[in-house]
A = this chain, B = another copy of it.
Amino acid sequence: MTRSAETAGYQFNHTMIRIKDPKRSIQFYTEVLGMELLSEAKFESFTLYFFAYDHSGGTLTDREKKNSRFNREGVLELTHNHGTESDASFAGYASGNTEPGKGFGHIAITVPDVQAACARFEALGVPFKKRLTDGSMRHIAFILDPDGYWIEIVPQRLQLADDDE
């Protein structure tokens, strides 16, 4: 498929999911998954949080990270509608993987060592949807974020076998 000159420079910048409690989600995405909080944008009734991995080796300043928000790929946007974190009647958000509301499936993090990553998630008490040892696909796992969204943990494979689709 040849790419149109009209779409040159386009980037798949971010994916947005809604969250109930920013305190829990920020802790999870930064401390458990190791992303950086690039920036946040507070509005009257909601706040947006933008996360991404810093692949610069630590050379980017906070200002540069913040500026990269709309000019890179691999950004995760979390939307917090104020009040859900303390609203006992709030039913929570749908993961997208069950009816009603099936559609969105998951986000995926690739890791250099999937065994080590999953052992660390276990040690941190992260809930699993699918451990490496569950089911037939023994090289991938699914963990759950604080809202119950599925996060696939996938090994970084530098080269697929010729017959591996």
Contact = CB atoms under 8 A, between A and B. Distances in A.
Q: Is the interface of A mostly helix, strand, loop or mixed?
A: mixed
B100 A11 contact: no
Nearest to A52: B12
A27 B153 CA distance: 29
Nearest to A151: B12
Given A10-B109, A71-B110, A158-B71, A100 B101 contact: yes
A30 B12 CA distance: 13
A96 to B, nearest CB: 5
B96 A101 contact: yes
A101 B17 CA distance: 12
Interface in A1-19: 1, 3-4, 6-18
Interface string A64-87: 001101110111110100000000
Contact of A37 (B1, B11, B30, B110): B1
A138 to B, nearest CB: 16
Chain A: number of interface residues, binned into ranges: 35 or more
Contacts of A41: 165
Max count, chain B CB within 10 A of own CB: residue among A37, A155, A160: A160
A132 interface: no
Contact of A160 (B16, B66, B149): B66
Contacts of A120: 6
A44 B12 CA distance: 29
Given A36-B1, A40-B165, A11 B74 contact: yes
Nearest to A30: B1
